[in-house]
């Protein structure tokens, strides 16, 4: 006889959920599974707000299942581990990013690329099962999908678990991490500012490409970029033609790729990490005439995510965050929609999430 839902999910949990396409988040009581033999349960202390959370609570990508508890930049302290857990113990600082499962058998999983597994399980709003994210008081996950949080990293640097790995991974994989290279970063938001920090840590020259002239001082003086181009200024784009070895494009809105392709040197790589709601237009001749590449990249596997955290700790790389109480979440979403944040909101779950 199969166990009932109450027997399989006996752990009372509390968080914020959206129940319809308005995206309004309200207090929500639910339950987590009991800690299995390979599971880690932890008290959530901080959870970042990712732009994809905003897309999903409003069903802008078309596959949201309500109620939805968002959050995939989750950091906390272990409260309980299963009998066969080897990597963690109670009291450890840990994190969970965008994944909580995969098949563990396919070629991708065998090569530490669980993020590209066809059966990967998303931390919230998974298509095949019900998962609830980190806008909540506790989390339970298989230890394979839990990362160790370095002691020297502040726990409110939770956005490293999405914004960090999303930009670190393509820079490494596509060979854009070599000192002396010239790397472009399109968009100076939650992802873009992390791309600048990693590219600089790798020893590259960095040009920020933005529609907002107002971000120039921030890019150059605070984040350490070397150059700044306004993407809507034809003269500036013309002056930057064929100067970049690679570009990390973090923009999730519809935008023109043709000027960006022009900025690349021959054999240059335009790597897309943003997810616009509508298709983008690609012109073939500029690609053909320089053997240029347009590619995509999505987060990273578990091994690389741990590598990214350790690299961040070693080089003191943290996201610029605004820490807000849990009940500020709807205001934070409104401000995020207006790009009114430098550069990531982080919910202080541990101190401010109170069960109704």
Domain identity same for 277 and 328 = no
Domain identity same for 257 and 140 = no
Q: How many domains does the chain have?
A: 2
First to last CA, the chain: 35
Domain identity same for 208 and 280 = yes
Task: Tell me which of 296, 313, 337 is where a domain ends.
Answer: 296
pLDDT tens-digit series, residues 82-124: 999 999 999 999 999 999 999 999 999 999 999 999 999 999 9
CATH code assigned at 76: 3.90.180.10
Q: Are 135 and 142 in contact (CB under 8 A)?
A: no
Whether residue 1 has pLDDT greater than 60: no
pLDDT tens-digit series, residues 23-79: 999 999 999 999 999 999 999 999 999 999 999 999 988 999 999 999 999 999 999
pLDDT tens-digit series, residues 240-280: 999 999 999 999 889 999 999 999 999 999 999 998 888 99
Domain identity same for 15 and 144 = yes
pLDDT for 7: 67
pLDDT for 277: 80
pLDDT tens-digit series, residues 220-244: 999 999 999 999 999 999 999 999 9
Domain identity same for 291 and 306 = no
pLDDT for 5: 57
Domain identity same for 157 and 9 = yes
Closest C-alpha to 182, from 273, 247, 236: 247
Q: Rounded to whole angstroms, what are the CA distances from 14 to 27, 235, 334? A: 7, 53, 23
Range of the domain at 172: 164-296
Strand 74-81 relative to strand 93-96, pairing: antiparallel
Domain identity same for 41 and 111 = yes
Domain identity same for 26 and 146 = yes
pLDDT for 275: 86
Band of residue 169 on the pLDDT scale cut at 50, 70, 90: very high
Band of residue 356 on the pLDDT scale cut at 50, 70, 90: low
Q: Rounded to whole angstroms, what are the CA distances from 140 to 55, 82, 129, 289? A: 24, 10, 15, 51
Domain identity same for 263 and 117 = no
């Amino acid at each position: 006889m199969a166990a009932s839902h109450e027997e399989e999910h006996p752990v009372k949990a509390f968080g914020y959920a959206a129940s319809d396409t308005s995206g309004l988040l309200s207090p929500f009581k639910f339950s987590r599974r009991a800690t299995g033999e390979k599971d880690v349960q932890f008290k959530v202390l901080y959870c970042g707000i990712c732009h994809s959370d905003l897309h999903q609570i409003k069903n802008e990508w078309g596959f949201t299942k309500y109620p939805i508890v968002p959050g995939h930049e989750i950091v906390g302290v272990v409260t309980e581990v299963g009998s066969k857990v080897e990597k963690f113990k109670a009291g450890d600082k840990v994190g969970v990013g965008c994944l909580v499962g995969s098949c563990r058998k396919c070629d991708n999983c065998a090569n530490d690329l669980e993020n590209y597994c066809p059966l990967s399980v998303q931390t919230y709003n998974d298509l095949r099962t019900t998962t609830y994210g980190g806008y909540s008081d506790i989390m339970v996950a298989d230890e394979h999908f839990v990362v160790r949080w370095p002691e020297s990293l502040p726990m409110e640097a939770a956005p490293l678990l999405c914004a960090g790995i999303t930009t670190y991974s393509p820079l490494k994989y596509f060979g854009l991490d070599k000192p002396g290279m010239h790397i472009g970063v399109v968009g100076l938001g939650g992802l873009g500012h992390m791309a600048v920090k990693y590219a600089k840590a790798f020893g590259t020259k960095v040009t920020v490409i933005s529609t907002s002239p107002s971000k120039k001082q921030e890019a150059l003086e605070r984040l350490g970029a070397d150059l700044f181009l306004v993407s809507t200024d034809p003269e500036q784009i013309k002056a930057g033609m064929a100067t970049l070895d690679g570009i990390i494009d973090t923009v999730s809105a519809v935008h023109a790729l043709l000027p960006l392709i022009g900025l690349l040197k021959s054999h240059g790589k335009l790597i897309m990490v943003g997810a616009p709601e509508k298709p983008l237009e690609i012109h073939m001749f500029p690609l053909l005439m320089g053997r240029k590449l347009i590619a995509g990249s999505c987060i990273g596997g578990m091994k690389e995510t741990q590598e990214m955290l350790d690299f961040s700790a070693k080089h003191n790389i943290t996201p610029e965050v605004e820490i807000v109480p849990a009940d500020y979440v709807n205001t934070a979403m409104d401000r995020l929609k207006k790009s009114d944040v430098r550069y990531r909101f982080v919910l202080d779950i541990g101190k401010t999430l109170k069960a109704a």
